[in-house]
Amino acid sequence: MLQRVRPLLKNVLAPLLLYLAAFLVLRAEALPHFGTDFFSDADDGLQNVWNLWWFVESVRHGTSPFFTAMLHYPQGTSLVAHTLNPFNGVLALALGTVLDPVETYNTIVVFSFVMAGLTAFWLSLEITASYPGSLLCGYLFTFSEFHLAHGAGHLQLVALEWLPVFLLAFWRLLDRASARRGVLAGVSLFLVILCDYYYFFFCVLAGAILLGWHLLSQRRNRPWAQRSFVLSLATFVAVSTALSGPLLVSLLEFSWRDPLVGAHDAEQFSLDLLGPLIPGGTWRFAELTGWYWQHLPGNLSEKSVSWGLGSIALMIVAWASRRKLRPWIGVWSFLLAFFALLALGPRIQLLGQPVDHLPGPFALLVKLLPPLKLAGAPVRMSVITSLCVAMIAGAGFSILWRTSTGARAVAVLLLTVAVLGSWPFPQPITPAAFPPYVAAMQSLSKEYGLFDVEDAFGAARALYDQTAHRIPLAHGYVSRVPRSVAQRDAELDVLAERGQWQTLCERYGFRYLVFRSEAAAEATLEAASILQQADPRLRFYDLGQLWNCARRPVGPVPPPDLPIPLQVLGRSEARPGQGTVCTIDTVNFVNPHEQHGIVQLNPDRSINVAGWAFRKEGEGGTPPLRLRLERSDGNSYETPARRIPRPDVADAFHNPRLQMAGLQLVGSMGDLPDGTYRILIAQDGPDGASLCDPKVKVGVP
């Protein structure tokens, strides 16, 4: 009996308890809050809380979790391209029978960290056959800076426990082919895609490399001519197609039919050349390296990808003794180098700045696989490099441990450096308690929509609040939305901007409005004020007291009477200057920089411009702005643009004053003459208005 239990104790329970203990130590500050606060930040973390809630709600009501009418009301939106991570939804469904939402979320976080360590341990043990080295591999992988950094709120990226399982299953398939192993590899790949699309693609890419390496290294045995090998691969492909295929095909077909909006900027989410060497902003001692990471684009979670100097030293030891580690070290070193190069993104960057416009390998990969444009975060390929680093470093530790007493001392020293090198800052936590206004909103009807006119709640907070009040929302913090949904949102924003409340009520079913308290309400709305004591920072209105609002429109919703002609102002005295920083991201949801800087408008002359701009004098600011449309013959027209939230800009420039740096212009060119127009952005300043040229033009038919 003991002989049967011993492998379970040694290879499952012992490493499981080790990684659980390590998690409890590294996240000790958060443990007293396990039942009261989410182990996440108040941004993407709350989005993932909503994800779990929505998945459970939809399953319990027998509807698809991949579409919701609770967001982007009244038309709703597909969640096929959203970071829904259904696997965690299934866990939430099971855990929710005995735990509350806070305990459920936090249990999933703990589960992911502990299981990621365990599965990486299994993978390393299979390949290296070193028990102590594999224990270290599991630790270095699950507590890598990449994993810990995303623990702030990216639950779909925290759930990387199935990635080593797939690589282990596929490695075993190549080592000794069988139909059973083909099934296991296909099932494990399905579990990966249920967590994250990025990880699925990385696994497919890594699997292709492992397959190519196997065919090359075993070419004398001609594995492609062996019936068992071909059968096992065919089984793997069949199972993967049957399980993962429907979701993947839905994503590709949907993005082709209704292109998606909201992809990351690949240049902002790329690995800096020094990133693997220098700890980022999520390190416990981040102030020591602030001179470096504070100047990198993107947010802390994405630019914290250090491998750790201790791990790098252990890798050097392993590589110096590579003859003892053949044949596996060659292919895993290649995987490390391959994914590290791709993580550099479309342009090589050093200290956050492009290196002489030097293109990165990722740009070539996007040309070969255009759907990768939807990803836009090559730095996340660091998950594979983190696994390779952990495995090779673990092998280096094992070599030192077996060599001599002095070498053991060096191994312990490097282990200490490796652990300290990834020691994280305290786990961000977010109180689960709802603000008082949420309790007041629970009495409102769920048959109508709520329009947050000024982003008064905040994007992520609005999602979390909805899990309690359950009122459908205009807009919604979804990772990627279809272009048609984004267009309809923009059109409804124009109606709100122009105060067409009756139309929003009677035609689209928006009964409730919310403003910031400092907003000047129109006289027509004062009679509809409600929930006046709910929160002094907010002002709520019930349009149902003024008009007969539509009740939950079903089916296609007619578009507004748009495009509304742009409001043309007189030409201002703005002059080109150095005081404004600006970018136009999309014109009619098309990246103009992929169209050689010019976008041709549709025959209806509608235009939708989105981007960001701010003044950089002093601490920077976001004053009102206008767009100047300058025709090639010298005539020009100006029209006001609206400010919209752009927290990503505030993060990129490390300036909280830039939260409202976004800009949007929606309407029609109306009766403006045909021709090609250059778009300039004018912003007021203490010394007058200045112009910024984003190098974008539009062609009007």
pLDDT exceeds 50 at position 406: yes
Q: Are 123 and 401 in contact (CB under 8 A)?
A: no
> Which two three-digit tokens encode residue 482?
């279809």
pLDDT exceeds 50 at position 316: yes
SS (H, E, C) 290-359: HHHHCCCCCCHHHHCCCCCHHHHHHHHHHHHCHHHHCCHHHHHHHHHHHHHHHHCCCEEEECCEEEEEEE
How far lies 93's CA from each of 61, 159, 464, 495, 596, in Å? 12, 16, 18, 39, 48
Q: Are 479 and 83 in contact (CB under 8 A)?
A: yes
Q: Are strands 580-587 and 430-431 parallel, antiparallel or unpaired?
A: unpaired
SS (H, E, C) 333-344: HHHHHHHHHHHC
- Can you give the pLDDT at residue 583? 87
Q: Are 541 and 528 in contact (CB under 8 A)?
A: yes
**Adjacency order of strands within the sheet including 510-516:** 449-452, 510-516, 538-542, 529-530
* C-beta atoms surrounding 274 within 10 Å: 16
- Can you give the pLDDT at residue 619? 47
Residue 162's nearest CA partner among 118, 208, 132, 127 is 118
Cα separation of 617 and 379, whole Å? 32
Mean pLDDT in residue range 576-586: 76
**Percent with pLDDT over 90 in the chain:** 57
Scan for tokens 């990834």, then name that residue: 422
In three-state secondary structure terms, 165 is helix
Span 356-381, pLDDT tens digits: 777 788 887 777 777 666 667 899 99
- Looking at per-residue pLDDT, the higher value among 637 and 372 belongs to 637
Scan for tokens 């027998």, then name that residue: 62
Mean pLDDT in residue range 583-606: 79
Least confident of 46-55, 113-122, 473-482, 659-668: 659-668
> Which two three-digit tokens encode residue 393?
């470093």
- Can you give the pLDDT at residue 601? 81
Measured in whole angstroms, the distance separating CA 304 from the mean position of its chain's CA atoms is 15
pLDDT exceeds 70 at position 573: no
pLDDT exceeds 60 at position 556: no
Residue 237 has phi, psi (to 5 degrees) of: -65, -40
Q: What is the pTM of this model?
A: 0.89
How far lies 626's CA from each of 274, 605, 640, in Å? 40, 19, 4
How far lies 632's CA from each of 572, 582, 637, 675, 700, in Å? 18, 21, 12, 7, 12
Mean pLDDT in residue range 430-440: 95
Span 644-657, pLDDT tens digits: 777 777 766 767 77
pLDDT exceeds 80 at position 88: yes
Highest mean pLDDT among 5-14, 186-195, 480-489, 571-580: 186-195
- Can you give the pLDDT at residue 572? 54
pLDDT exceeds 90 at position 614: no
Contacts within 8 Å (CB) and 24+ apart, 95-98 = 96/56
Residue 499 has phi, psi (to 5 degrees) of: 70, 25
Cβ within 8 Å of residue 249, ≥6 positions away: none
Q: Are strands 662-668 and 37-38 parallel, antiparallel or unpaired?
A: unpaired
Element (H, E) at 541: strand 538-542
Instruction: Tell me which amino acid residue 413 is.
Output: L
- Can you give the pLDDT at residue 373? 65
Per-domain residue ranges for the chain? 2-160+262-421, 436-545, 575-700
Highest mean pLDDT among 370-374, 471-475, 483-487: 471-475
Q: pLDDT tier at 495 (50, 70, 90 boundaries)?
A: confident
Q: pLDDT tier at 564 (50, 70, 90 boundaries)?
A: low
pLDDT exceeds 60 at position 2: yes
**Percent with pLDDT over 70 in the chain:** 92
Instruction: Tell me which amino acid residue 313 is.
Output: A
CATH topology of domain 575-700: Immunoglobulin-like (2.60.40)
- Can you give the pLDDT at residue 571? 55
- Looking at per-residue pLDDT, the higher value among 261 and 197 belongs to 197
Mean pLDDT in residue range 113-142: 97
Residue 660's nearest CA partner among 649, 682, 644 is 644
Average pLDDT of the residues of the chain: 88
Please tell me what DSSP assigns to residue 9.
Answer: I
Q: pLDDT tier at 687 (50, 70, 90 boundaries)?
A: low
Instruction: Tell me which amino acid residue 562 is.
Output: L
Least confident of 307-321, 411-425, 465-479, 658-672: 658-672
Element (H, E) at 279: none
pLDDT exceeds 60 at position 351: yes
Element (H, E) at 132: helix 131-142
Q: Are strands 449-452 and 510-516 parallel, antiparallel or unpaired?
A: parallel
How far lies 184's CA from each of 111, 158, 169, in Å? 21, 22, 6
- Can you give the pLDDT at residue 542? 95
